[in-house]
Chains A and B, each alone.
Chain A
């Protein structure tokens, strides 16, 4: 069976030719069907860029391949990719406050998605939208359909976005820090919802986050990213119990935990970070000088 997502040697640069910055430096990653993979790393590690490269955001893919269920997403013609997006591959965006259209009612926005991919009638789409909202445990879904995004809470908006992500039975969901903008109690509910829907729909999830606690809770496997490189990957339990890479160890030591005193917290040593970055830049120079 082909993997849900297979990324090989992905290099991504952003910006124009003259001042482009490497963001991903040869990332490889395999995601089996139904697998939940946590992608962790500090700000600027390239974790969001990895998610965006799969979706058509303004990323320039310099090298590498991205295969979705055995089909090459990079070489795929635009209309074909558009028919996959939102239907087979879905995104749960980072910020629920700004990811909904401010002047369209919730129902109308879900209907756009459903009508685009499933060719439903307007009435049928609204019916289905109400069912979807009920599935993410929104009470009075019919009333919520009538509301504008600014009239519902942040947690509820994130639920609407989750409902939209799972609306067309995707086999791959990219969750780009879906809990970052939410407070801790709402975070927990959102995580449980994602987990519940994932099981129901059997989708693979690429869960991008900087929160190791979240990864420990819902991800079976995890990937540690830094400076656009994969430093370590494996089963979550194993990586957290026996981290092999010094960066992963440092990251764990810097994570606050309820069962340890706050004094035990140690920041990631600056020397380690510096080392990793200079390694990454050395790699860049090698690539530039490389195929001459």
Chain B
């Protein structure tokens, strides 16, 4: 989730992978090599769910 320290320091790289072009069927049949990137992405999305749920519990919260 931080600035990339490798090839291109002018880029900020996210822990989330772009699967926007994939179908749900494809996601279910991914080879093992991709699973760690997917698993990391899912973990981050899941963490965000917990945080957001706590924050929205308040009155009229935007968070």
A binds B: no
Interface residues of B (CB under 8 A from A): none
Residues of A in contact with B (beta carbons under 8 Å apart): none
